[in-house]
Each structure stands twice: as C-alpha cells, then as structure tokens.
Amino acid sequence: MLPPGPPTIPFLGNLNLDMSDMMILFRDLRKRYGDIFSLILGKRTVIVVCGIDKLHEVLVKHGDSTSDRPAAFWFKDVFLQAGVGSSNGKQWKELRTTTIKALRDQGVGKKEIETRILEEVEVFLERIQDTAGKPFNIKNLTNISISNVVCSITFGERHDHTDKDFIKLTNLIDDLLSHPYSIGLLMFLPVLQYFPLDPFGAKKMKRYASCIREHCRKVLEAHRKSFNSDEIRDVVDLLIEKQNVYGTSEESAFSDAMVIQTLSDLLIGGTDTTVTTLRWFYLFMIKYPEVQARMRDEIMATIGRNRPITIRDRAHLHYCEAVINETLRLGNIGPFSLPHMVSQDFMLDDYLIPKGAIIMPSLDSVHFDSNHFDDADKFDPLRFLDEKGELTKMKDIMPFSTGRRSCIGESLARVELFLFTTNLLQSFELLPETDTTDPSLEYKLGVTHGPKPYLIRAIPL
Ligand code: HEM
C-alpha cells in the first residue's frame, strides 16, 4: 500500500489540486496525512517526505534506493540527464567524487579559498561605495560577485562588473531557477512543454540551459588549447585530465556532454542559491535593524574596523553565524530540495515506496517545524544560541539537504555567506529604499524560494 494521500479522480489522479504554490499545498497535506504522503500526478507517483527524521530515514538510511534523479523535465529535458546534478549510477558517482576533489584542490574547505573570496568582497564593497548612499538594486551586484567566485574556482576566470555578456549569463541563471513550473507541473505533465506559445516557459528554460552550456563548452575548448598536465589550474583542467585518462566516449563519466553539464551545474548551483540567501539576508537586515545593529556590535567588539574579517574570525562571531543560520532557515532557499527517484522498491512504516516514484524532499517542512522551532515564522537568530552564547541546533536545519545527493557546495557557500555578510556590515549600514518603506517579505517560488525585487541604501560607516 502507498503512503496515504488525497483521493484521486479518474485520469487526472491528484492534478485537480491547486499546485500554483506547492509550499502551501504540501504544508496543508502534511497536516492531513502526516510526514509521508503520496500523490498521483499524471502518470507519476510522487512521495512527499517531511520532517527531519523521515528525511534522514528516506535519504540516508534508504540512500541505496533513493539517490537517483528522475527522467523528468528538469533533469531530462533541461539538463539532458547529464552532469553531476542530473546523471545517475556509475557515471554520477565518478563525476561527484571527481568534482568534490576538484573543488577541494582549488581550496574549497581549506584556508586558500579565503583569498579568492576576499578579493571579490573588496570589489563588491567598492561598487557599493559608488552608490553613494542612494537606493540601488543589490541583486545585480551580488550576482556578479558570487558567480565570479565560482568562475574563478571552476574556470580560472573572473569578470568585470560591467561585462555585458556575463551580466546576461548570470541573469539567465537567475531566471532559470526562479521559474515556477520547473520542478512542479512540467515534471508531472511533460506534455505541457509542447504547448504552443510556451505558456509554461519550458522552451525558454531549455534555451537558457543550452546558452549556459554553450558558455561552458567554449571555456572547455579554450582550456584544452593551453592544457598542461603539470599545472592543473582549475576544475576544468582537472576534468580534462580525467578525460585524457578515461576517454570521452558516451559511456565515460567524462564525455564532453557530462563534463560540460557538470561545469554548468557548478555555475548554476554555485550562483543562484548563494545569491538568493544573501538577498534574504539584506532584506532581513533592513526589516530588523536591531539584528543588524547587534551583528555589527559583535563585529566591532571582536574585530573593529581596521582589517577585513577572515575565516579565522568565524569561531568568535557566534551571533553573526546565528544570523546566517536563521537566514538559511527562514529564507528556505530550496523548499523541495531537488527531486529524487526511487531505484528499487522498499518499505517504510508498512507503506510501499515503489520503484520509479519521484521523491520530493520537503526541506520547507524541516525549517518551519514547530516541534523544533517555536514561533517558526519569526526571524530570531537567538534560537541558534544557547545560554552561554554558543551555537546550537545546527542539526535542526537542512538547507543543503542530506544523504548521498546532498549539496557539494555547502562549505564554499558557508564561507561566502560569512565573508560577504560580515564584511558588508563592518563597512555599511543597510537601510530600506526610503525612510518610510516597510520592506516586504513576499516571495517568488521556483526551484529556489527568493524575495521579490527591492532596493536598498548602503550608508558608509
Ligand atoms: C546557500 C547556498 C546553497 C544552497 C542552499 C544549496 C542547496 C542545495 C540543495 C538543497 C541541493 C539538492 C540536494 C539533493 O538533491 O538532495 C543541492 C545540490 C547541489 N548543489 Fe547546492 N546549494 C548551495 C550552494 C552551492 C554551491 C556554492 C555549489 C557549487 C559550487 C553547489 C552545487 C550543487 C550541486 C552540483 C548539486 C547537485 C549534487 C548532486 O546531484 O549530486 N551548491 N544544493
């Protein structure tokens, strides 16, 4: 027997449900059916998994059976079932191990990464200084700065903030991940992608993904021309080295299609998620000035203003770290993570989880779980500090998912978030667009859950 779920109607299953906001729908269904429920959407059986315990059980304990990606719109038609984010089986395992090693070789998870990020932070702060306290759109600036970090690690290149082609590319990434139907309706009813006039944006998403791949293909070709096995410069070089050893046939994990899509996954995965987190951060800072002031007080008392904040300072800035964790929780960046697929039948609490079903891991359910967080809708960084001011409850959030498919960029993202937020508040006070603007916390839901556009002012301290 499948886990419980709402009654189905002939042919449509549960497609009669209002899927325009899956966050609202799944919250409601969890109340009615519990932490694990099933939906029949078109020809697909979808199992929604809620709460930290059930997610660990499904993604970690049953990881053998739940770590594939489904052959469905987002993975199959947009990302061609290739690359570290969308492939499966042996090819995926090899790509994942190699990509994690490549990131580590470039300093991710080590102190070396700091220099690259701090260079970007410096340019970021200079550009903010140029706004002279006037309202501006900090999203564009953040987009370029964060993708520059990924580009420098992956491609060994960074781009000027005025580089029009690069600005266009980062906008494509943003549009792709904020599109509403990508891991919803289009995955369950693939026929929608062939509708005339593209009302669901499927063709647009495919076109965008192809443009991003084209950029990565050009970078790969340029690297090949200057490749020297004695001097591995970046992730691209390491993948070329693997191609030289294992070949580039279709079955190889390092075929051109796999390598190009992996580079694109790093660019996409490494940019939009971190930018969205930072956009929530700025918004929370202007909405809750008392939190901003307390964060700055901690920075001033611990470091002062005469030197940049570095990774070493992380151990001493507990309130700042608590604010970042609360931003990851309430910002709820990937409310449904990325869908997984069941590769073999297994039983869970007497229910059958059938081969071929799509698993939707509801990270949203973890971040707003009233069993773990009192007043879960409130922005309250203190929930991550104990009575001695030490960090606590870190294991109660799951912004990077869990298990074999969990985010490979977590340690990079955490360092970026720390260095960008703390150095920003050390130099500027963030204010809303005008003294009377009450910033809105309304969201736009796609693969990511981001705030609606807003302007801020940054006043030099
Ligand atoms: C705050 C920032 C970030 C958040 C919230 C985030 C979140 C996530 C989530 C929820 C997943 C899905 C895991 C699953 O399917 O169970 C994921 C996967 C992934 N992330 Fe991130 N991520 C962030 C930053 C990054 C960065 C900086 C990179 C790259 C440098 C990155 C690269 C990837 C890749 C390649 C995958 C696919 C892994 C696989 O399928 O094996 N992410 N991320």
Closest-lying ligand 1 atom to the alpha carbon of residue 403: 16
Q: Which domain holds residue 70?
A: 22-440
The residue whose C-alpha atom lies closest to atom 2 belonging to ligand 1 is 274
Q: With a 6 A CB cut-off, is 269 part of the ligand 1 pocket?
A: yes
- Banded model confidence at residue 383, pLDDT cuts 50, 70, 90: very high
Q: Does the model's pTM come out above 0.95?
A: yes
Residue 253 sits at the vertex; the CA angle it makes with 46 and 261, to the nearest 5 degrees, is 65
**Would you state the pLDDT for residue 104?**
92
- In this predicted structure, the answer to whether residue 382 has a pLDDT above a threshold of 90 is yes
Cα 65 to the center of its chain, rounded Å? 23
Number of domains in the chain: 1
| pLDDT higher than 90, residue 183 | no
Distance of CA 185 to the CA centre of its chain: 20
Query: Would strands 358-362 and 44-50 be described as parallel, antiparallel, or unpaired?
Result: parallel
Q: Measured between alpha carbons, how far apart are the two ends of the chain, in Å? A: 62
User: Ligand 1: which residue has its CA nearest to atom 1?
Assistant: 274
- Provide DSSP, 146-208: HHHHHHHHHTS----TT-HHHHHHHHHHHHHHT-TTTTTHHHH-GGGGGSTT-TT-HHHHHHH
Amino acid, res. 148? N
Q: Is 154 in the pocket of ligand 1 (CB under 6 A)?
A: no
Residue 132: pLDDT above 90? Answer: yes
CATH number at residue 255: 1.10.630.10
389 in any annotated domain? yes
Q: What is the pLDDT of residue 356?
A: 97
Q: Which atom of ligand 1 is nearest to the CA of 92?
A: 41
Q: Ligand 1 in contact with 85 (CB < 6 A)? A: yes
Q: Is 266 in the pocket of ligand 1 (CB under 6 A)?
A: yes
Q: At what angle do helices 235-246 and 202-226 cross, to 10 degrees?
A: 80
Q: Which residue has the higher pLDDT, 111 or 385?
A: 385
Q: Whose CA is nearest to atom 7 of ligand 1?
A: 400
pLDDT of residue 286: 97
Confidence bin at 394 (pLDDT 50/70/90): confident
Alpha carbon of 438 to ligand 1 centroid (Å): 32
Mean pLDDT of the chain: 95
Give the pairing of strands 346-348 and 351-353: antiparallel
Asked if residue 90 belongs to a domain, the reply is yes
Confirm or reject: Cβ of 445 under 6 Å from ligand 1: no
Residues of the chain with pLDDT > 90, as a percent, come to: 92
Examine residue 5 and state whether it is found in any structural domain, yes or no.
no
Is there a domain that residue 103 lies in? yes
Handedness of CA 77, 78, 80, 83 (dihedral sign): negative
Task: Specify whether the CB–CB gap between 153 and 106 falls below 8 A.
Answer: yes
Residue 407, ligand 1, Cβ within 6 A: yes
Helix (H, G, I), strand (E, B) or coil at 72: coil
Q: Is 422 in the pocket of ligand 1 (CB under 6 A)?
A: no
- Ligand 1 pocket check: which of 258, 273, 414 to mutate, most ligand atoms within 8 Å of Cβ? 273
Which residue of 58, 81, 400, 406 sits with most ligand 1 atoms within 8 Å of its CB, as the best mutation to test the pocket? 400
Phi, psi for residue 409 in degrees, rounded to 5: -105, 10
ipTM of the complex: 0.99
Residue 148 inside a domain? The answer is yes
What are the structure tokens assigned to 47, written together?
A: 């199992």
pLDDT value at residue 10: 87
Tell me which residue of 169, 170, 276, 151 sits closest to 214, measured CA to CA: 169
CA distance 147 to 231: 24
Give the Å distance between the CA of 88 and the centre of ligand 1.
Answer: 16
Q: Does 320 show up as a binding residue in the annotation? A: no
Q: What mean pLDDT do residues 409-433 have?
A: 97
Residue 320: what pLDDT? 98
Q: Say if residue 270's pLDDT is above 80.
A: yes
What is the pLDDT confidence band of residue 177, given thresholds at 50, 70 and 90?
confident
What is the identity of the amino acid at 282? Y
Alpha helices in 360-409 (DSSP H): 363-367
pLDDT digits (tens, 9 = 90+) for 250-265: 999 999 999 999 999 9
Model pLDDT for residues 9-29, shown as the tens digit of each residue: 988 899 999 988 999 999 999
Residue % of the chain over a pLDDT of 70: 100
Cβ of residue 401 lying under 6 Å from some atom of ligand 1 = yes
60 domain-assigned: yes
Ligand 1 test: best mutation among 145, 407, 411, 420, most atoms within 8 Å of CB?
407
State the pLDDT at residue 329: 98
Q: What is the rounded distance in angstroms from the CA atom of residue 351 to the CA atom of residue 214?
A: 44
Is any atom of ligand 1 closer than 6 Å to the C-beta of 83? no
Provide the total of helices (H) and of strands (E) in the chain, helices listed first: 17, 10
Q: Would you say residue 455 lies in a domain?
A: no
What ligand 1 atom has the least distance to the C-alpha of 417?
A: 1
The mean pLDDT of 167-182, rounded to a whole number, is 89
Q: pLDDT tier at 110 (50, 70, 90 boundaries)? A: confident
* Alpha carbon of residue 405 to chain centroid: 13
Q: How confident is the model at residue 178 (pLDDT cuts 50, 70, 90)?
A: confident
